[in-house]
Amino acid sequence: MLGFIITLVKLLAIILVVATIHEFGHFLASKCLGVGVEEFSIGFGPKIAQKKFKGTMYSLRWLPLGGYCAIEGEEETEENKDSETSYQKKNPLEKIVILSMGVIFNFILALVVFLIVYLPTNVGTTQINELATDSVLADAGLQNDDIIRKINGKEVELYSQITGFNISKLDKDIDIEYERNGEIYTARVLDAKRIEGKIGVNFEVTEEGDATNVVELTGAGTSATDAGIKSGDIIISVNNISTPDAQSVINAVKVNADKEIAVKVQRGEEILDFTLVPQATEVFDLGVLSVKTAKSNLHYSFIETIEKVKSIVGSYVDLFTGKVSISNMSGIVGIGEVVSKSSGILNFFFLMAMISMAVGVANILPFPPLDGGKILLVLIECVTRKKVSEKVELTVSYIGLGLLLALTLFVTYKDIIRII
C-alpha cells in the first residue's frame, strides 16, 4: 500500500510539473504579446486559494492533474469580441507563437532536466573497450582502443549516437572513420545490419550495474506481453538453455527471430512454461561489447539530450507510418508502472524530462483539439483569408476529442491487461 501511495505521489508530481510548465508557456507568450489572461490555475477542481493581480486570477486548486491558462478571446464571445486584448485581435504569427509556446516550454524543461541528470554521470564514448569475436568491426580490421570518429561521414562522439542511428537510412555496408594512435584510418564494414529476435522486456539491474534475468517491465504489444510474462518474473531458461542473467536471455532470443521458443519462468514459488515467437527486428550491430567511459560535461549532456529527442520523435514517426502498432503505445497506467519501478532522484527527474518531451511532441501534432490542431486552423485561415466558422471548429474539436478519449481508453485497457 505504501509503495502504491509513493508511486501515486511521484506520478502526480510529474503530471503537475509538466502540465504547469506547458500552461506557463501559453501564459507568458500571451502576456508578452498583450493578450489578456483571465485565469492561470495550477490544478483543477475546487479552489484552495485565489488572488487577482493585474487583470489575471491566479488559482491553486485541489486536483493536481495539471492546470489551465484561460486566454481572453480564445473562445470568442459577445463580451470579448471587441476587446483590444483579445486573442482574436492578434495576427496569425502572434497566434501561432501563443499556441506553440506550451510545447516549447515542455522542451525547455526536458532540456534543462536532461542536462542536470547527465552532468554528474559517466558517458559511453566511441573508444572501443571490447569487441565481440564475431564483430563486423573486427572483421574490418578495428581493434580494442580504436576511436570511432565518423559513420558514413557523420561525426559521432558518444556511444548513444552509434546505437541511435536510424537504420532505415543505412545500407548493410557502411564506411567507418576511426582513430588509432593519433592517426585517422577508414574501413568498409560489411553487413552492419542484422535481423534479431526480441521479446520486448527490460531487466532489473543491480547496484553494481549487472543486468539480471528478472523482468522489470514488459512492452505493450510485444510477444512477451502477449504470452503472459509479467514484471517480476525470472526467466530461468530459453529452449532448455539456462539463462542466469539478462545477456544470456538476449543471446538465446536474438538467434530465434520469428521462431517459436520455449521460455521457463519462475513466478514466486511457481515454475511456468510459456511459448512465444520473438519479433524479428532489424538492428544496427557493430559487435561492440563495451566502450570506454568519460566524465560527462555540458557538451556531452547536450548530445545525449538530442539523442533522446530524436528517439521520441522517431517513435511517433514509426507510429504514423505503420511501423509500430497502436497496441505498442502506453498510457497513464503504463507510465505509472515505469514510475513505480524507478528509484532515486535522478531517475525521477529523468522520467519527468522524458514525459515532458513526449507531451510536447504529442501536443504539436496537427490534430484538434491539441495545440498543433489549433495551429493548423490558423494556417488554414492564412491560406483561405477566411476565418474557419465557429461551428466547423467546434465540430472538428469534438470529433478530435472523442478520438483522443477513445485512444486513451484503448491504451489504458491494454496497459491494465498487460500488468494484471
Q: Do residue 229 and residue 373 come from a single domain?
A: no
- What is the Cα–Cα distance from 354 to 332, expressed in whole angstroms? 14
In a domain, 156, yes or no: yes
In a domain, 339, yes or no: no
List pLDDT tens digits, range 30-75. Answer: 999 999 999 999 988 899 999 999 889 999 999 888 888 999 887 7
Q: Do residue 290 and residue 190 come from a single domain?
A: yes
Q: Do residue 374 and residue 406 come from a single domain?
A: yes
Residues 6+ apart with CB under 8 A from 38: 56, 57, 70, 71, 72
List pLDDT tens digits, range 147-202. Answer: 999 998 889 998 888 877 766 667 778 899 999 999 999 999 888 888 889 998 88
pLDDT at 345: 79
Q: Do residue 205 and residue 113 come from a single domain?
A: no
List pLDDT tens digits, range 224-252. Answer: 888 888 878 899 999 999 999 988 998 89
In a domain, 311, yes or no: no
pLDDT at 414: 59
In a domain, 221, yes or no: yes
List pLDDT tens digits, range 393-406. Answer: 677 666 766 666 66
Q: Do residue 8 and residue 81 come from a single domain?
A: yes
**Confidence label for 297 from pLDDT (cuts 50, 70 and 90):** confident
Residue 60's φ and ψ, nearest 5 degrees, are: -120, 120
pLDDT at 38: 92
Q: Is the pTM of this model over 0.75?
A: no
List pLDDT tens digits, range 65-119. Answer: 888 899 988 776 666 666 788 888 888 899 999 999 999 999 899 888 888 877 7
Quote the domain boundaries for residue 273: 200-277
Last residue of a domain, one of 243, 277, 311: 277
Residues 6+ apart with CB under 8 A from 234: 213, 214, 215, 265, 266, 267
Q: Do residue 287 and residue 147 come from a single domain?
A: yes
In a domain, 18, yes or no: yes
From the list 165, 291, 293, the residue with the least C-alpha distance to 175 is 165
3-state secondary structure of 381: helix
Last residue of a domain, one of 247, 277, 307: 277
CA 74 to each of CA 3, 34, 36, 136, 382: distance values in angstroms, whole numbers, following the listed order = 42, 14, 10, 58, 17
Q: Do residue 401 and residue 385 come from a single domain?
A: yes
Q: Do residue 227 and residue 268 come from a single domain?
A: yes
- What is the Cα–Cα distance from 224 to 266, expressed in whole angstroms? 14
pLDDT at 273: 94
In a domain, 364, yes or no: yes
We report the CATH number of the domain holding residue 232 as: 2.30.42.10
pLDDT, mean of residues 393-420:
62
Between strands 288-295 and 122-131, the pairing is antiparallel
Range of weakest confidence among 5-14, 323-332, 370-379 = 323-332
Q: Do residue 127 and residue 183 come from a single domain?
A: yes
Domain count, the chain: 3
| DSSP track, 106-143 | HHHHHHHHHHHHHTTSEEEEEEEEEE-TT-HHHHTT--
In a domain, 301, yes or no: no
Last residue of a domain, one of 246, 277, 308: 277
